[in-house]
Chain A
Amino acid sequence: MKNLTIRNLSKTYFDLHAGANVTAVRDLSLEVPAGEFVSIVGPSGCGKTTLLNMIAGFIPLTSGEILVGGRPVKGPGPDRGVVFQSFALFPWRTVLDNVAFGPKMRGVGRAEREKIAHEYLALVKLSEAAGRYPNELSGGMQQRVGVVRALANEPDVLLMDEPFASVDAQTRMTLQEELTRIWEQKRPTVIFITHDVAEAVFLGNRVVALSKGRVLEEIIVDLPRPRVWDDLNEDDRFKVLSGRVLQLVRSA
């Protein structure tokens, strides 16, 4: 796991449909130590997805720098794993092959990478689904696969783009608890994008509120771990923190 440094990052691009330049990210700086879980919140259009896409290397930055473990980011790569809101699983491959994809790209042999894939599937209790195809699974199950597919590659940084937004409320809470459990086991450096304030506070060590392309404020979440919804829903500190973050987001 490596740390992530963002210095004076800006992104301006030409919007084809508006016919004008748009600044999505403005002189943004952020420091994420290795192994920390950072939630990024903000209203739509605040630039959080653009930020994630730049860290992932899907889009180029206009100015500034993004460093992972001290090395600048150049395009997408296995050192930054991504979990997508739409799951983005490969429908033509089984669940097992999806999870084994990253190792396959690295040249790991079949037996070895299937072993790895099985391990990670067991982590999210999806071992029986190994031979099934993604379209046979429910949304929640598909996203679990999405998460371990990224994790199986042992990335330096895990980027999660509103991963639970396409899933129903009950499943979402279960997935959030599962995510914290996995995180406590593996301790990856995580950037978690969401517009759900409670989710951001539940999951992160720190919540970063964005507004109009820059950082508004950072709030430390000092709630003890392990975190469970049944407990936190009654917890006063949790309510205070969520309230603060919500205030920030709404004022943005």
Chain B
Amino acid sequence: MTRHWLSSALWFCAPFAVLLVLWAVLVPYFDVNPRLFPHLDSVAEAGLDGIKDGTLVRHVGASLLRVTVGTVLALVFAIPLGIAMGVSPAVSGFLTPPFRFFSVLAGIAWIPVASLWFGYGFGAITFVIFNAVFFIVTYNTLLGVSTIPLQVRNAAASLGAGRWAMLTEVLLPGALPNIVTGIRTGLGFAWRGLIAAEMIATNVGLGYMLFVARDFYKTEVIVLGMIIIGVLWLLLDRLLLAPIERATSERWGMVQRA
């Protein structure tokens, strides 16, 4: 089992090894202007410097903190609300269009309003992330609960399930595949919204780091930042979210939607 995992991990990294080699060789070979595209070693150096003087850690930390806080807050409200709405077919059918509408306005569109209402900084950005996650997760939770067949809920009732048991044993597990899909999509929007928001509404964070470096043509910082953003999301999505999504819906043979 571990062997298979190891070999597929290696296969996954192989193309990147090739790219890194190409980068290290071609960029100096064609004497590319470092103001246009950095050399591999200058990026590595920028990374090390950033870690040493703590700025990189600060930026990454700020970004991750905002994403975490915004997401957790959103989930705390979204999941109960989604379940409450999804339980009644009439309510869920009625409320679906508005929630789909607001899901469309994911993250980024809220930046101007957010920065006006909360000023620059932590509040505005967390608000953006909250919105990116909240509407989509509520909508998906609602959807998930409404797809639990009535007979399954009846079966639980006739087996003696009380209110609490119904929630924890039937509604939550039943909606879980959809909830996870919602979280995964929402986080995707949140991550993008975060970077965008940090470019214009704050003075710390990965987005900010990228934007400010642009002013000084410090392409090595920009590329470093891009790589970090890519790696972070890749790790989060592929190592955490996708496996959970697969585990729930495939194991249980349930079909996901939206």
Q: Do chains A and B touch in the complex (CB under 8 A)?
A: yes
Closest partner residue, chain A, to B166 (CB atom): A105
Q: Does B159 sit within 8 A of A, measured CB to CB?
A: yes
Interface secondary structure of A, over-half rule: loop
Provide the bound-state CA to CA distance between A92 and B178, in Å: 13
Contact of B252 among A76, A80, A92, A105 (CB under 8 A): A92
CB distance from A31 to the nearest CB of B (A): 23
Q: A92-B174, A135-B252 are in contact. Are A101 and B156 (CB under 8 A)?
A: yes
Is the Cβ of B176 less than 8 Å from the Cβ of A92?
A: yes
Q: Does B173 sit within 8 A of A, measured CB to CB?
A: yes
Provide the bound-state CA to CA distance between A84 and B252, in Å: 20
Which residues on A are within 8 Å of B, measured CB to CB? 56-58, 75-78, 80-82, 84-86, 88-93, 101-102, 105-106, 133-136, 149-150, 153
Tally A-B pairs: CB < 8 A. 78
Is the Cβ of B252 less than 8 Å from the Cβ of A153?
A: no
Give residues of chain B (160-190) contacting chain A, Cβ–Cβ below 8 Å: 160-162, 165, 169-170, 173-174, 176
Is the Cβ of B151 less than 8 Å from the Cβ of A88?
A: yes
Is the Cβ of B173 less than 8 Å from the Cβ of A76?
A: no
Closest partner residue, chain A, to B176 (CB atom): A92
Is the Cβ of B165 less than 8 Å from the Cβ of A105?
A: yes
Is the Cβ of A81 less than 8 Å from the Cβ of B162?
A: no
Is the Cβ of B253 less than 8 Å from the Cβ of A58?
A: no
Residues of chain A contacted by B251 (CB below 8 angstroms): 133
Is the Cβ of B158 less than 8 Å from the Cβ of A82?
A: yes
Residues of chain A contacted by B169 (CB below 8 angstroms): 90, 101
Residues of chain B contacted by A101 (CB below 8 angstroms): 156, 159, 161, 169
| 18 A-B pairs (CB sep. < 8 Å) | A58-B154, A58-B157, A75-B157, A76-B157, A76-B158, A82-B154, A84-B151, A86-B149, A88-B149, A89-B155, A90-B155, A90-B156, A90-B169, A92-B176, A106-B160, A136-B253, A149-B159, A153-B159
Given contacts A58-B154, A76-B157, A81-B159, 7 further A-B contacts (CB under 8 A): A80-B158, A82-B158, A84-B155, A105-B162, A135-B252, A149-B155, A153-B159
Residues of chain A contacted by B160 (CB below 8 angstroms): 77-78, 102, 105-106, 153
CB distance from A98 to the nearest CB of B (A): 9
Residues of chain B contacted by A90 (CB below 8 angstroms): 152, 155-156, 169-170, 173
Residues of chain B contacted by A56 (CB below 8 angstroms): 154, 158
Provide the bound-state CA to CA distance between A116 and B149, in Å: 27
Residues of chain A contacted by B170 (CB below 8 angstroms): 90
Provide the bound-state CA to CA distance between A106 and B162, in Å: 10
Q: Does B242 sit within 8 A of A, measured CB to CB?
A: no
Contact of B154 among A84, A89, A92, A136 (CB under 8 A): A84
Closest partner residue, chain B, to A155 (CB atom): B158
Provide the bound-state CA to CA distance between A56 and B155, in Å: 10
Provide the bound-state CA to CA distance between A80 and B157, in Å: 10
Is the Cβ of A77 less than 8 Å from the Cβ of B253?
A: no
Is the Cβ of A76 less than 8 Å from the Cβ of B253?
A: no
CB distance from A240 to the nearest CB of B (A): 36
Provide the bound-state CA to CA distance between A91 and B165, in Å: 16
